[in-house]
Structure 1
C-alpha cells in the first residue's frame, strides 16, 4: 500500500459547498491506471485528479483527470482546483504562469489574487451541428426544436456541443431524458434578464449534461464555459468579459469569470479547500 496527500477543492466559488468539488491526489506516481480509475469511481465526483511529475520540460506538473466512467484529456474545474492544491502544497512555477501538462497538451494557468484562470485551449471541433444531431438534442432536452435559438460544436476535449435557449428560465426548467442524450455531452446557455436576479447581474445561465461520463449534470464546468466563451465571444453574442452562472438548478452558486486578453480567453474562478487528508491505496 502507498499513502498520498489528498485535497478536495471547491471550484468556481468563494464559499465552500456552493461550487464544484474536485478530489486531488498529490504525488500520484506509483498508482496504476486501475487504481486511479477505481478511486474516481469511489469518490463519485464529476472529476478526480492525480498530480504527477511533468514529462514536458516547459510544464510545472502533469495532471491526469478521471470521471467515474473514463479518463479525460482536459477539464476546466479540475485544472483550477488541482492548480490551487498544487500551489497550496508548496508548488513553485517555473515562470509567471503555471503550466499544466495534460492530455490536450500544455495549459496555462494564471493567478489574479485569490482567483485562478486557465487559457481556453483550442477547440478540437467547432462549427454548425447537423440537423439529425440537433433533433436528437431537442428530444433529449424534452423541448421543441424551435426553442433552440443557436447551436455549435464547442469541443475542447470532452466532446461538448452547445445550444442556446431564449431565457434563463427556460434553461432552469429543463428536465432532460438522459438515456436519450447518450453519447452526447450537451451544454445549454441562455442570457440572464437585463435587470439581473436578486440584485446580481450575470451575463448567462449555463447547464452541462454529461450522462455518458456517469455525470447526469455537472454543477459548474470550466471546459464547457471555455468552449462557450470561444463561440459566444467569437460570434458577437457575448462581450469580451462577462460572468456566467452555473449550478443554480442543483442548489449551487458557481460563477465563471471570462476575460479576453489579446488572443487569449481566460476562464477563471475562485477556489476553496474543503478537505485535507491522506489517501491509502
Structure 2
C-alpha cells in the first residue's frame, strides 16, 4: 500500500524557512519498513496518521520516523499533521487529539482558513543539571570555550525527550558553532540526551531566544525547527530565571544558520505544561 506523502514546512519564519515534514494520512496499511523508507527517501522526520485505538479517547494515532529509527514524539510533525488534516477537510472543528507513543497530545487550530496556526500540548518539563565533567565534553563537541558560555547552567530538560540546553553568550557565538559530529552520539549518551540544544538570548525583554539543534543520531546533522526541544527550553529558561510563568509568548528562533529561518511560539499552560506552535505551509 502506497498512500500519498504530503510535504509541509512547519514553523516557517521567512523564505525557505521551516522544518520540512513528510506526512502520510491514512497510514494504517504502512508497515515499519515502509515508514522507515519514507523517512529515508525524504531525509526528514516523517509523521504517519493512523486510526486511534477505540479505548484511547483520541481522534487519531501518530507515529514518527527519522531516517535511522522510530521516535516516540515529534513536535513539528504533530503540528504539521494537525494542519494537514484541517487543510484536507478531515477535522470536524478546531481541535484534534492524537495518541502518540509518548502519550496523548492535544492540538488546537486558530486563524483564517488561508493562514491557520496550530498549537500542541506538552506536559510539564523535567529539568536537571549536567555535572561538570560531562559539561566539559559537551563544550568540546560543540567547540565552545568557557568565555563563550552564558551565565546560566547547562541543563538536561524534557517534556517528551531529553535535550541538553547549552547557554552561549550571544547569537554570534551560536551562529559560529562548528560541532564535531563524529562525537555527537557519544557525548549525548554520556549526558543521557537525545540532542544538544545551544541557545542565546536575542531579545530577552520580548522573551525571544535563538537556538540550534544537533540531534544524537537522527540521520541528519542539524534540525531547522525542533518543537520538543523548544518546549524543553521553555522550562530551562524558567528554571534559570530568564522567563516567568505567564501567558505572554516565548519565541524560539531556529534554522537561520541552515538558511531555513523558523520560529516556534510557546505559552505556559494552566495545567503546568506548555503549548507550542506556529505556522505551517504546504511545500
TM over 0.5: yes
The equivalences for 1:200-211 within 5 A come to 203-211=208-216
Could you tell me which residue of structure 2 aligns to residue 278 of structure 1? none
Aligned residues: 265
SS at match of 1:213: coil
1:267 correspondence with 2:276: yes
Could you tell me which residue of structure 2 aligns to residue 233 of structure 1? 238
Q: Distance in 2 between matches of 1:266 and 1:99?
A: 14
Give the TM-score taking structure 2 as reference length.
Answer: 0.87
Could you tell me which residue of structure 2 aligns to residue 176 of structure 1? 179
Q: Is the 8 A contact 2:16 2:259 kept in 1?
A: no
The equivalences for 1:4-19 within 5 A come to 4-13=3-12, 17-19=16-18
Q: Distance in 1 between matches of 2:139 and 2:91?
A: 47
Report the Cα offset of residue 194 of structure 1: 6.5
Residues 68-77 or 186-195, more deviating? 186-195
Report the Cα offset of residue 171 of structure 1: 0.7
Q: Distance in 2 between matches of 1:106 and 1:68?
A: 24
Q: Distance in 2 between matches of 1:145 and 1:108?
A: 40
The answer for unaligned runs of 5 or more in structure 2 is 189-194
The equivalences for 1:126-275 within 5 A come to 126-149=127-150, 150-183=153-186, 184=188, 185-192=195-202, 203-239=208-244, 240=246, 241-262=249-270, 263-274=272-283
Report the Cα offset of residue 121 of structure 1: 2.7
Report the Cα offset of residue 16 of structure 1: 6.1
Q: Distance in 1 between matches of 2:160 and 2:69?
A: 13
Q: Distance in 2 between matches of 1:57 and 1:128?
A: 35
Report the Cα offset of residue 110 of structure 1: 1.4
Per-residue CA distance 1:146-169 (angstroms, 9 max, x = gap) = 533321111333431111111111
Q: Is the 8 A contact 1:167 1:193 kept in 2?
A: no
Q: Distance in 1 between matches of 2:15 and 2:2?
A: 26
Residues 236-245 or 177-186, more deviating? 236-245
Report the Cα offset of residue 244 of structure 1: 1.6
Give the TM-score taking structure 1 as reference length.
Answer: 0.87
Q: Is the 8 A contact 1:135 1:145 kept in 2?
A: no
Q: Is the 8 A contact 1:202 1:245 kept in 2?
A: no
Report the Cα offset of residue 253 of structure 1: 1.4
Q: Distance in 1 between matches of 2:239 and 2:207?
A: 19
SS at match of 2:212: strand
Q: Is the 8 A contact 1:142 1:177 kept in 2?
A: yes
Per-residue CA distance 1:208-230 (angstroms, 9 max, x = gap) = 00141112110111110010012
Could you tell me which residue of structure 1 aligns to residue 117 of structure 2? 115
Per-residue CA distance 1:215-263 (angstroms, 9 max, x = gap) = 2110111110010012213442124422121111011210111122423
Relative distance call for 1:266 and 1:194 in structure 2 (3 A) is: closer
Q: Is the 8 A contact 1:168 1:193 kept in 2?
A: no
Q: Distance in 2 between matches of 1:84 and 1:75?
A: 14
Report the Cα offset of residue 15 of structure 1: 5.2
Residues 114-123 or 212-221, more deviating? 114-123
SS at match of 1:51: strand
